[in-house]
């Protein structure tokens, strides 16, 4: 998962080539990688790629602060989805 | 009245009294009388606020000079002050589920909006700081269309305003408008990275999101602004509306509100969808052209005319082959 998300962020969202290769713990907010529209792009990607729903309440900077944070968030959402599926 | 500190304080106090006390009284009068009195107040401000009047007339001629002579510019500037006074009455008529204002605002092109919403992807209304847009969008919401707005309240970022003034404008304007929105205002402050995703969430729920594309970019956003032709001049605006439309599949419709010659009736016009084909600059250029056309049709309705600071932030006052390099002191443009 880290590789998939890191690849997407590096390919589609990073404007400053000096940030590449992107470390999984690099702050996407402090480095300016994520702004309002790039976060929307990322959310659309996560929803399509991992088949999860990202709710309004989940749109917190902490959930998207780095590749590691995004992976932790996606895993938590996947676990919630499985729990819901299995009752 | 001059532009010294005492004059500014007096005008500020008059603005508070007008918006807080007088306009709510005018809103309870028969509309013909209430709006006529509002126009009298506008005329008085036009005569007394020399620098604002001069800036308005100068900018009107600077940007619309080809189609606007000296007399027409003077007339449009006077109307600018009248419209600003009438807007306070519009906002005060938003009580009782906006019924008092709904009687005065006709919505044209609603069928375009309904056709857009039939596809289930929501719709984006491309607006400008033009006319009584906040009140008119409130009427649209009150008529059954779920409206959410992306925008910043001016009283939250205007420099030099006291905490009392900020609370006052929030109470007298923002509170009344907020009641007529589906979701809380989505405010794009620096660091609020969730703005576009919140807007997308509203669109996925098949709601309507409004964006005013003529807002001067904040310093933190200037790097993402693009050069466009606006009112025949170069300007720097934020093209986020195009990206939002492409990522969500929501159609973009132009939306403008025009005040009639009797000053009390208004028409909210909604266009059919704007094509989003081509690169971002091309698609955004169509939206900007729509706003330019609305301003040329009703020059007095654009709120930024008196403010050199806002026009400068829009990149429109930069020295160039067709723009005079004159700079004048900044004005505070709230509660005119």
Q: How far is CA B133 from CA B89, B136, B231, in A?
A: 13, 5, 20
State whether A59 and B194 contact (CB < 8 Å): yes
Tell me how far apart the alpha carbons of residues B72 and B80 are, in angstroms, rounded to a whole number: 12
Residue B331 has pLDDT above 60, yes or no: no
Q: Which residue of A has its CA nearest to B189?
A: A36
Walk along chain A (87 residues) and give the pLDDT tens digit of each residue.
999 999 999 999 998 899 999 999 999 999 989 988 999 999 999 999 999 999 889 998 889 999 999 999 999 999 888 888 776
Q: Which residue of B has its CA nearest to A63?
A: B194
Tell me how far apart the alpha carbons of residues A21 and A23 are, in angstroms, rounded to a whole number: 6
Helix (H) or strand (E) run with residue B10 in it = helix B5-17
- The pTM score is 0.88
State whether A60 and B188 contact (CB < 8 Å): no
Residue B157 has pLDDT above 50, yes or no: yes
Structure token digits, residue A20: 């590449």
Across the beta sheet with B105-108, the strand order is B105-108, B266-273, B252-259, B123-127, B208-212, B147-150
pLDDT more than 90, % of chain B: 79
CATH code of A2-85, in short, is 1.10.1200.10
Residue B307 has pLDDT above 90, yes or no: yes
Residue range B199-210, pLDDT digits in tens: 999 999 999 999
Cβ neighbours for B177, distance < 8 A, ≥ 6 positions apart? B91, B94, B134, B135, B138
Interface test with A, best of B196, B239, B244, B248 (most A CBs within 10 A): B196
Nearest alpha-carbon partner for B239 in B278, B280, B211: B280
User: Would you state the pLDDT for residue B1?
Assistant: 57
Tell me how far apart the alpha carbons of residues B277 and B104 are, in angstroms, rounded to a whole number: 37
Tell me how far apart the alpha carbons of residues B60 and B139 are, in angstroms, rounded to a whole number: 29
Whether the complex's predicted ipTM is more than 0.85 is answered with no
- Residue B194 has its nearest CB partner, among A39, A41, A44, at A39
Tell me how far apart the alpha carbons of residues A67 and B242 are, in angstroms, rounded to a whole number: 27
SS (H, E, C) chain A: CHHHHHHHHHHHHCCCHHHCCCCCCCCCCCCCCCCHHHHHHHHHHHHHHHCCCCCHHHCCHHHHCCHHHHHHHHHHHHHHHHHHHCC
Residue written as token pair 């989003």? B276
Tell me how far apart the alpha carbons of residues B199 and B150 are, in angstroms, rounded to a whole number: 8
- Chain A residues whose beta carbon lies within 8 Å of the beta carbon of residue B191: 29, 61
- Residue B179, min C-alpha distance to chain A (Å): 20
Q: Give me the helix-helix angle, B70-92 and B133-142, nearest 10°.
A: 40
pLDDT confidence of B320, banded at 50, 70, 90?
A: very low
Which A residues, 46 through 85, put their C-beta within 8 Å of a C-beta on chain B? 54-56, 59-61, 64
Domain boundaries, chain A: 2-85
- Chain A residues whose beta carbon lies within 8 Å of the beta carbon of residue B193: 29, 34-36, 39, 61, 64
Do residues B247 and A44 make contact, with C-beta atoms less than 8 angstroms apart?
yes
Residue range B72-92, pLDDT digits in tens: 999 999 999 999 999 999 999
Do residues A45 and B200 make contact, with C-beta atoms less than 8 angstroms apart?
no
Cβ neighbours for B11, distance < 8 A, ≥ 6 positions apart? B1, B49
Residue range B91-116, pLDDT digits in tens: 999 999 999 999 999 999 999 999 99
State whether B188 and A36 contact (CB < 8 Å): yes
State whether B240 and A54 contact (CB < 8 Å): no
Q: DSSP readout, B70-104?
A: HHHHHHHHHHHHHHHHHHHHHHHTTTTTTHHHHTT
Tell me how far apart the alpha carbons of residues A73 and A43 are, in angstroms, rounded to a whole number: 12
Q: Which residue of B has its CA nearest to A55?
A: B201
pLDDT confidence of B4, banded at 50, 70, 90?
A: confident
Query: SS3 for B186?
Result: strand
State whether B244 and A40 contact (CB < 8 Å): yes
């Amino acid at each position: 998962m880290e590789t998939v998300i890191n690849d997407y962020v590096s390919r589609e969202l990073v404007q400053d080539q000096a940030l590449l290769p992107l470390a999984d713990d690099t702050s996407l907010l402090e480095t300016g990688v994520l702004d309002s529209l790039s976060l929307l792009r990322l959310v659309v990607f996560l929803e399509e790629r991992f088949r999860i729903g990202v709710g309004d309440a989940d749109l917190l900077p902490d959930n998207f602060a780095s590749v590691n944070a995004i992976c932790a968030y996606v895993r938590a959402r996947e676990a919630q989805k499985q729990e819901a599926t299995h009752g | 009245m001059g532009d010294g500190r005492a004059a500014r304080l007096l005008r500020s106090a008059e603005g508070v009294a007008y918006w807080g006390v007088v306009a709510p009284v005018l809103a309870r009068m028969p509309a013909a009388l209430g709006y006529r009195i509002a126009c009298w107040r506008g005329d008085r401000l036009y005569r007394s606020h020399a620098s604002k009047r001069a800036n308005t007339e100068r900018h009107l001629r600077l940007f619309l000079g080809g189609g606007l002579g000296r007399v027409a510019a003077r007339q449009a500037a006077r109307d600018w002050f009248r419209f600003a006074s009438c807007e306070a009455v519009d906002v005060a008529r938003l009580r009782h589920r906006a019924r008092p204002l709904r009687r005065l605002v006709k919505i044209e092109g609603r069928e375009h909006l309904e056709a857009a919403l039939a596809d289930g992807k929501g719709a984006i209304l491309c607006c400008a700081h033009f006319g009584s847009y906040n009140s008119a969008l409130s009427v649209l919401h009150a008529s059954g269309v779920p409206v959410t707005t992306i925008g910043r309240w001016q009283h939250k970022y205007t420099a030099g305003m006291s905490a009392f003034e900020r609370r006052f404008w929030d109470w007298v304007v923002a509170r009344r408008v907020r009641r007529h929105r589906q979701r809380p205002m989505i405010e794009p402050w620096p660091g609020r990275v969730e703005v576009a995703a919140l807007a997308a969430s509203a669109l996925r729920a098949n709601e309507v999101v409004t964006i005013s594309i003529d807002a001067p970019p904040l310093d933190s956003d200037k790097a993402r602004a693009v050069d466009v032709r606006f009112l025949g001049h170069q300007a720097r605006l934020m093209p986020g509306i195009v990206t939002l439309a492409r990522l969500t599949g929501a159609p973009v419709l132009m939306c403008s509100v025009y005040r009639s010659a009797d000053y009390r009736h208004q028409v909210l016009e909604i266009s059919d969808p704007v094509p989003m084909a081509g690169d971002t600059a091309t698609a955004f250029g169509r939206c900007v052209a729509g706003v330019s056309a609305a301003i040329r049709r009703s020059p007095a309705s654009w709120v930024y005319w008196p403010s050199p600071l806002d026009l400068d932030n829009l990149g429109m006052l930069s020295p160039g082959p067709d723009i005079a390099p004159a700079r004048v002191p900044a004005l505070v443009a709230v509660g005119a």
